[in-house]
Amino acid sequence: MLHLKLNATLLCCTGPTCILIRPDGETVEAFAFGAETRYSELSENNEHKKWYYFRRFKMAIWKKVIRQRNLSRYGCGSL
């Protein structure tokens, strides 16, 4: 999916928040569109089961950061 943002006279194209990690669990294979494409290829060949594919994780991370900041502000500790 291609995301377009229009800001006054600036047009920005951003890719999806995706990452594909090799079966060793440490080596990054691809980001964004490359990760989507590569994972699709692996899935078509039924070779995807040992790979780690994450998508749309940016907001989940951001929400956790916000919660931790709010908890620490009120002295509640961490999550």
> Is 68 a domain residue?
yes
Residue 21 domain-assigned?
Answer: yes
Our count of domains for the chain comes to 1
- The domain in which residue 55 lies consists of 16-73
Instruction: Describe the strand order of the beta sheet including 28-31 as a list of residue ranges.
Output: 28-31, 18-21, 52-55
pLDDT in tens, 7-61: 555 555 677 889 999 999 999 999 999 999 999 999 999 999 999 999 887 777 7
Say how far apart CA 75 and CA 79 lie, in whole Å.
Answer: 12
Let me know if residue 42 belongs to a domain: yes
63 in a structural domain? yes
* 67 located within any domain: yes
- What's the confidence (pLDDT) of residue 79? 44
Cβ 51 vs Cβ 39: under 8 Å: yes
Burial of 16 (0-12, 13-18, 19+ CB in 10 A): middle
